[in-house]
Amino acid sequence: MFVDVADIYIKAGDGGDGAISFRRERCVPNGGPNGGDGGCGGSVLFLADRSLNTLSNFRYKKVFKAKNGENGGKNNCSGKNGEDLLIKVPMGTLVKNRDNGLVMADLNSNEAVVLARGGRGGWGNCRFANSVRQAPRFSKPGLLGEEYNISLELRLLADVGLVGLPNVGKSTLLSCISAARPKIGNYCFTTLVPSLGVVEVGGGESFVAADIPGLIEGASCGKGLGYKFLRHVQRCRVLLHVVDVSRFKCYNPVEDIIVINEELRRFGNGVSNKKQILVANKVDVASKENVNFVRQYAQNNGIPFFEVSCATRSGLGGLVCAANALLKSLPLAVFEDVGSLVESDELKAKDAVGFNIKKDGDVFVVEALWLERIVKNMYLEDLENLRYLHKVLKNSGIDRKLKEMGVSVGDTVSLAGYYFEYEQ
């Protein structure tokens, strides 16, 4: 089954907690701290794979989590790092953050991209030993791994896109100019999914063409199949607008051209501004009047025009050469700008040490997830632990904020479920 959109949840591994441990040797009195560091959590990476052409792997599995880092151990033993999680997607997949709409990655190369970084492992208590604090009874917890609700959107990487009403011969044309074998039938919506084919021009040159399922009038309002597949045209640089000129004489095929161009305009995203080549198909059984209608329209609008017949293979060579020549004169496909992701990461880094303070009656309540993890790894009846906690509160700006809110000596402050009496 062809699936070109999917919503999933990714979670990088959390870092392991640092250990609190002391040497216990028979002949070494007052052994020092030897708690090891926690391992780093695994990251979530995405890799574009050319062998894939659909997002069907994400149809049922929606949650992807990397491994957590292991906790540190005694004897200065560090915890094992969590394994990274590599997720393969088709080439041309766009990754967006569903919570804020930012583009996180546009996967169009063979290099893996890290989208969720694993948490750093916490320090063991041996890291806090110095000449003054020789027996620290606390360690640092591991940091949380990044997590995102993301949407995957496949946009086929094709140089040329074939557009037109249903049953005008797009699939047949693709099968004639490439080795692709899409389903062909004499009824509307024979093509249910986009098809790709490599077109050999000669002299070692080639380009990729995509058959986009037929549009109909009113597709922008939800009719037909084609409108939801127009995202695959966004990366195309040239559109082959295929028109069936074999219908009855009193019918003007220019009306078909106008209908399709209007749907492209309503879709937006620059699709209507792409270079077009008008292709009058089935000229072997068409009236000269119908062909002249389309030719005149092309001349009036400055659009290249070609007459072809897939049945007799006439005009196909010239069409392929013209499309290739037009591609050479155009810039390469434009991919989504992911620069906004850098800004997002900077904001996230600031939020990692963010906090919120509110007053509940006479109690000042400090809310901070990172602080809860630090307090969890502390022995709060130890004087050295309390001194370290006070240093954390001062360096993070929590102490300054409490003073701004009017805290005074003797007031109660709540931290991670513990209640403290404020002292200057």
**Given pLDDT bands bounded at 50, 70 and 90, which one contains residue 277?**
very high
Q: Per-residue b/e over 122-145, b at no fewer than 16 CB within 10 Å?
A: bbbbbbbbeeeeeebbbbbbbbbb
CB 54 within 8 A of CB 43: no
Q: Is the model more confident about 150 or about 223?
A: 150
pLDDT at 191 over 70: no
Q: What per-residue string of b and e applies to 393-414 under the rule 16 or more CB within 10 Å gives b? A: beebebbebbeeeebeeebebb
pLDDT score for 225: 56
Is the pLDDT at 340 greater than 50? The verdict is no
pLDDT at 342 over 80: no
Taking residues 166-182, report their average pLDDT: 83
Pairing of strands 363-367, 356-360: antiparallel
| pLDDT, greater one: 331 or 8 | 8
Q: How far is CA 163 from CA 102, 129, 194, 311, in A?
A: 29, 70, 11, 19
Query: What does each C-alpha distance from 235 to 101, 158, 354, 413 come to in angstroms?
Result: 20, 7, 40, 57
Instruction: Please say if the pLDDT value at position 310 is more than 80.
Output: yes
- Whole-Å CA distances, 179 to 2, 126, 173: 20, 66, 11
State the Cα–Cα distance between residues 380 and 225, nearest whole angstrom. 64
Q: How confident is the model at residue 278, as a pLDDT?
A: 93
127: Cβ–Cβ under 8 A, 6 or more apart, which residues?
Answer: 18, 37, 139, 140
Mean pLDDT, to the nearest integer, of 235-261? Answer: 83
Q: Which CATH fold would you assign to the domain 160-328?
A: Rossmann fold (3.40.50)
Model confidence at 388, in pLDDT bands (50, 70, 90)?
confident
Could you tell me how many residues make up the chain?
Answer: 424
C-alpha distances out from residue 247 to 125, 184, 233, 243, 306, Å:
83, 19, 27, 10, 18
Neighbours of 185 (CB within 10 A): 10
The stretch 191-199 carries a mean pLDDT of: 76
pTM over 0.75: no
Average pLDDT, the chain: 83
Domain ranges of the chain: 5-155, 160-328, 354-421
Asked if 156 and 92 touch (Cβ cutoff 8 Å), the reply is yes
How far apart (Å, rounded) are the C-alpha atoms in residues 167 and 177? Answer: 18
Strand (E) or helix (H) holding 384: helix 383-396
The amino acid at 35:
G
Confidence of residue 330 (pLDDT cuts 50, 70, 90): confident
Ranges 16-20, 53-57, 226-230, 393-397: which has the least confidence: 226-230
Architecture of 354-421 per CATH?
2-Layer Sandwich (3.30)
In the CATH hierarchy, which fold is given to the domain comprising 5-155? Spo0b-associated Gtp-binding Protein; Chain: A, (2.70.210)
Edge-to-edge strands, sheet with 147-154: 63-65, 5-11, 147-154, 93-97, 103-107
